[in-house]
Amino acid sequence: MGPSALRYASLQQKLEALGFSVHDQGNIEVPIAETCSVTDPKLKYVDCIVPMARRVAGAVATSIQGGRFPLVLGGDHSLSLGSIRGAAKSKRLGVIWVDAHADFNTPETTPSGNIHGMPLAALAGLGDPSLVQLWDETIPVVDPERIAILGARDLDPGEKVNLRGAGVMVMGMEQIDRFGMTTVVEKAIERVGRDTDGIYLSFDMDALDPNYAPGVGTRVSAGLTQRESHLACELIAETGKLAGMDLVEVNPILDVQNQTAALGVDLILSALGRRIWEGS
């Protein structure tokens, strides 16, 4: 339902108004959750999620091979198991992960067993083999030292250990409050852009404060403002290195008059170059 909500918020029309040629490839086939069974409580619905991730990876890789920019809509963050993997098939990527959560758990550290709390760890080479390697790709998909997490404010104890051990840059709300979004994003860009072919932006709408984005599955208070979020996207756009983007965690069942999807569309536009004023 998340991608439909974003389409309903005129995503394609607004991208075309910005000058882009849009090829909507439709939805990736995803099993209905209620038809999937939990075979491992530490890897819930893994038998349904892994095939989905492979399909996403293939679609993104094909998009990039065709000279296009992949924009992936969701849905929960487990889709990034596939999207970033597909983008990294032909490029050495840095990743900026904007999220209230780090999604850096493994089956050993997860308190819930939800795979949407594990994709970034798997991309960095940590976790269950079924998530770490979907095909014959080189492991890790992304160098952990070329990953920056922005806006984090809800980290599990074992996840913190994983992050420190891997060398991931974490710029939580404390750093954003103290130094400001411009400084934080510039530090992240410098870190993940070093010796890479491009930057992949994976933006979870729960990074925003729930007052601005109520339609998410895992709300955490004291989050980003709308302007902070737009500024982050604008600064990333200015690098000219954006290689792909996810916009995830849009849940219209929990939303109010589709405001989360509408804001998500606006953030996509900012990441792809829209400006209020083109002067200095």
Nearest by Cα to 50 from 115, 94, 105, 113 = 115
Q: Using the structure block, give the residue that is written with the tokens 């998909």.
A: 141
Q: Please state, in angstroms and rounded to a whole number, the distance separating the CA atoms of residues 236 and 186.
A: 9
Q: What is the residue-wise DSSP string for 189-227? A: HHHHHTT-SEEEEEEEGGGB-TTT----SS--SS-B-HH
Using CA atoms, how far residue 185 sits from 21, 83, 180, 255, 273, in Å, is 28, 22, 9, 28, 16
Backbone angles phi, psi at 155, to 5 degrees: -115, 135
Which residues are known to be catalytic? 77, 99, 101, 103, 116, 204, 206, 249
